[in-house]
Amino acid sequence: MLSIKEHIELKPYTTLHLGGPADFFCECTSVYELQDALRFAAGREVRVHILGGGSNTIFSDSGYQGCVLKIGMKGISYVEDGGDILVTALAGEDWGSFVQLMVEKGFSGIECLSGIPGSVGATPIQNVGAYGQEVKDSIDSVKVLERATLNEITFSNTECNFSYRTSRFKTTDAGKYIVTSVTFRLKKNGRPTIHYPEVKKIIEASVDLSTLADGRDSLIAARDIVISLRKKKSMVIDPNDPNTRSVGSFFLNPIVDADVLQHVCDVWTTIGDGSPVPTFPFEEKKKIPAAWLIEKAGFKKGTKKDGVGISENHTLALVNYNGTVDALLRLAMEIQSGVESVFSVRLEREANVIA
């Protein structure tokens, strides 16, 4: 039975542990409950925010005037397709636990996305990626609920219009659909796909994957290394590590053309230490690590100000020590202005701020 609660504090539902109360709150454990909750909100003529794992969401200090619907649908099913396995996970499944289960079953394709907080349903919206993998490379289809009609629709991979940290669900169709399940095409008894230099270097130094006859063993080895790397950067949720009270990477890595990159290189030649500007290829452009830009613009790990700060272990993570959303956003704007004044590059927020 649908349970609508009133004046519920949102802090416990986000990894930042910030944000005021929602006027209305409902955890939907089925598509039917989700449809009923949307009807309730329409009847009250209040706006709706869809909440997954809260790992990329920042509510304001005053809370949310409207109805927050937390996606709580759980369930995983499997269909074999030759050497592949089609795995359908309902949107409320915890992403980290889902990846761990796939690795333990020997299904490859998302092993480098281990340890990322959040829910399965959120991953296609911003095309979650890390360490050389993106979910778009493994997603077969995405089932959604159309908010206007309350009907379910299935989009194929190509119809999702995936790009770097985005999709149709974040751009042209933002707010139009609610993801209810995601189907992944994974390899049975597959081996890890290692493209990211940092991960590849550690794996080569610590384990010879070719000696592991079982694909499952090699996937577990790769996952363990990814988890270890993320923990060192405080990017795995840990109640004993205050640096994990964040939304992960707060800013996107900027994608620049040749002229902008040349300007950044010219600036760094003038103010830098002689080291090259780090870049990664992205189609016909280049991607510059936002963390590098932030550090070279003068912002240091461990900086604290007004109860918030920059993580001691990762420059891209802005942390809530005991502050407010206003203080966090002021720090974010200060970093954006600082980077832009030095390198003429405007950092774009990856975090989703709900006003």
Q: Which residues pair with 8 in a beta bridge?
A: 22
Q: Identity (one letter) of the amino acid at 269?
A: T
**CA atoms of 134 and 348, how far apart (whole Å):** 19
| Residue 300 CB neighbour total at 10 angstroms | 11
**CA atoms of 122 and 108, how far apart (whole Å):** 20
Q: Which residues pair with 6 in a beta bridge?
A: 24
In the residue annotation, 249 being an active-site residue is answered as: yes
Q: Which residues pair with 354 in a beta bridge?
A: 59
**CA atoms of 35 and 33, how far apart (whole Å):** 5
Question: Looking at residue 94, what DSSP letter applies?
Answer: B
Q: Tell me which residue has tokens 């963390």.
A: 291
From the candidates 27, 138, 141, 165, which is the catalytic residue? 165
CA distances to 64, 219, 262 from 70, rounded to whole Å, are 13, 32, 45
From the candidates 141, 234, 249, 311, which is the catalytic residue? 249
Q: Tell me which residue has tokens 């966090």.
A: 328
Instruction: Show the DSSP H helices in 50-151 as ranges.
Output: 95-104
Q: Give catalytic residue positions.
A: 165, 249, 350
